[in-house]
Structure 1
Amino acid sequence: MRKRDRPLCGAKTRKGFPCVRKVVPGKARCPNHGGLSTGPKTAEGKARAAMNLPRSRDEPVT
Protein backbone atom coordinates (compact mmCIF):
# COMPACT_ATOMS: atom_id res chain seq x y z
CA MET A 1 0.00 0.00 0.00
CA ARG A 2 1.36 3.39 -0.96
CA LYS A 3 1.71 6.07 1.67
CA ARG A 4 -0.95 8.27 0.11
CA ASP A 5 -3.44 5.38 0.25
CA ARG A 6 -2.95 4.72 3.98
CA PRO A 7 -5.63 5.97 6.39
CA LEU A 8 -5.10 8.86 8.77
CA CYS A 9 -3.99 8.30 12.35
CA GLY A 10 -7.03 9.90 13.98
CA ALA A 11 -5.52 10.10 17.49
CA LYS A 12 -6.54 13.19 19.43
CA THR A 13 -3.88 15.91 19.49
CA ARG A 14 -3.18 18.22 22.43
CA LYS A 15 -5.52 20.79 20.93
CA GLY A 16 -8.29 18.21 20.67
CA PHE A 17 -8.25 17.79 16.90
CA PRO A 18 -7.68 14.45 15.15
CA CYS A 19 -4.14 13.78 13.95
CA VAL A 20 -3.78 13.99 10.18
CA ARG A 21 -0.57 11.97 9.76
CA LYS A 22 -0.65 8.65 7.93
CA VAL A 23 -0.58 5.41 9.92
CA VAL A 24 2.46 3.12 10.08
CA PRO A 25 1.93 0.11 7.78
CA GLY A 26 0.25 -2.69 9.72
CA LYS A 27 -0.61 -0.42 12.66
CA ALA A 28 -3.47 1.89 13.61
CA ARG A 29 -1.46 5.00 14.59
CA CYS A 30 1.22 7.30 13.22
CA PRO A 31 4.81 7.33 14.56
CA ASN A 32 3.97 10.25 16.86
CA HIS A 33 1.11 8.40 18.53
CA GLY A 34 2.66 5.00 19.12
CA GLY A 35 2.71 3.38 15.69
CA LEU A 36 6.43 2.58 15.99
CA SER A 37 6.25 1.43 19.60
CA THR A 38 7.04 -2.23 20.19
CA GLY A 39 6.49 -2.16 23.93
CA PRO A 40 8.78 -3.58 26.62
CA LYS A 41 10.77 -6.67 25.60
CA THR A 42 12.59 -7.75 28.78
CA ALA A 43 11.02 -9.16 31.91
CA GLU A 44 12.31 -6.14 33.82
CA GLY A 45 10.73 -3.74 31.34
CA LYS A 46 7.41 -5.58 31.41
CA ALA A 47 7.36 -5.51 35.22
CA ARG A 48 8.12 -1.78 35.23
CA ALA A 49 5.30 -1.12 32.74
CA ALA A 50 2.86 -3.19 34.79
CA MET A 51 3.85 -1.33 37.95
CA ASN A 52 3.08 2.04 36.32
CA LEU A 53 -0.28 1.05 34.85
CA PRO A 54 -2.52 1.19 37.96
CA ARG A 55 -0.73 4.24 39.34
CA SER A 56 -1.27 6.29 36.17
CA ARG A 57 -5.03 5.72 36.31
CA ASP A 58 -5.30 7.15 39.83
CA GLU A 59 -3.17 10.25 39.32
CA PRO A 60 -4.92 13.44 38.15
CA VAL A 61 -3.99 14.80 34.74
CA THR A 62 -2.02 18.02 34.95
Structure 2
Amino acid sequence: MGYEVKKTEHSGPKKGSGAYWGRKTDAKKESNLKRREQSKILTQNEQNMGSSSVNRK
Protein backbone atom coordinates (compact mmCIF):
# COMPACT_ATOMS: atom_id res chain seq x y z
CA MET A 1 0.00 0.00 0.00
CA GLY A 2 2.93 2.32 0.31
CA TYR A 3 2.86 3.08 4.02
CA GLU A 4 6.63 3.19 4.31
CA VAL A 5 7.40 4.80 0.98
CA LYS A 6 9.91 7.61 1.14
CA LYS A 7 9.08 10.81 -0.63
CA THR A 8 11.53 11.69 -3.35
CA GLU A 9 12.44 15.12 -4.54
CA HIS A 10 10.73 16.30 -7.65
CA SER A 11 12.38 18.91 -9.80
CA GLY A 12 9.19 20.00 -11.54
CA PRO A 13 8.05 19.35 -15.07
CA LYS A 14 10.64 18.09 -17.46
CA LYS A 15 11.82 20.41 -20.17
CA GLY A 16 12.77 17.59 -22.50
CA SER A 17 16.34 18.15 -23.57
CA GLY A 18 16.95 14.59 -24.76
CA ALA A 19 18.27 14.27 -28.29
CA TYR A 20 16.97 17.65 -29.38
CA TRP A 21 18.84 20.87 -28.67
CA GLY A 22 15.75 22.90 -27.75
CA ARG A 23 12.54 22.60 -25.81
CA LYS A 24 10.22 19.62 -26.17
CA THR A 25 7.45 21.73 -27.72
CA ASP A 26 9.83 22.92 -30.43
CA ALA A 27 11.02 19.36 -31.02
CA LYS A 28 7.44 18.11 -31.38
CA LYS A 29 6.56 20.83 -33.88
CA GLU A 30 9.62 20.10 -36.00
CA SER A 31 9.22 16.32 -35.89
CA ASN A 32 5.52 16.55 -36.79
CA LEU A 33 6.34 18.80 -39.73
CA LYS A 34 9.04 16.41 -40.97
CA ARG A 35 6.74 13.40 -40.52
CA ARG A 36 3.96 15.06 -42.53
CA GLU A 37 6.35 16.05 -45.32
CA GLN A 38 7.73 12.50 -45.54
CA SER A 39 4.21 11.09 -45.54
CA LYS A 40 3.23 13.35 -48.45
CA ILE A 41 6.25 12.21 -50.44
CA LEU A 42 5.54 8.55 -49.73
CA THR A 43 1.89 8.79 -50.72
CA GLN A 44 2.77 10.65 -53.92
CA ASN A 45 5.31 7.96 -54.83
CA GLU A 46 2.81 5.19 -54.10
CA GLN A 47 0.16 6.88 -56.23
CA ASN A 48 2.59 7.36 -59.10
CA MET A 49 3.77 3.76 -58.94
CA GLY A 50 0.22 2.46 -58.68
CA SER A 51 -0.99 4.38 -61.73
CA SER A 52 1.98 3.31 -63.87
CA SER A 53 1.44 -0.38 -63.09
CA VAL A 54 -2.23 -0.09 -64.06
CA ASN A 55 -1.36 1.51 -67.41
CA ARG A 56 1.01 -1.32 -68.33
CA LYS A 57 -1.76 -3.92 -68.54
Q: How high is the TM-score relative to the length of structure 2? A: 0.30
Larger Rg computed on CA atoms: 2
Larger RCO (alpha carbons 8 Å, 6+ apart):
1
Structure with greater helix percent: 2
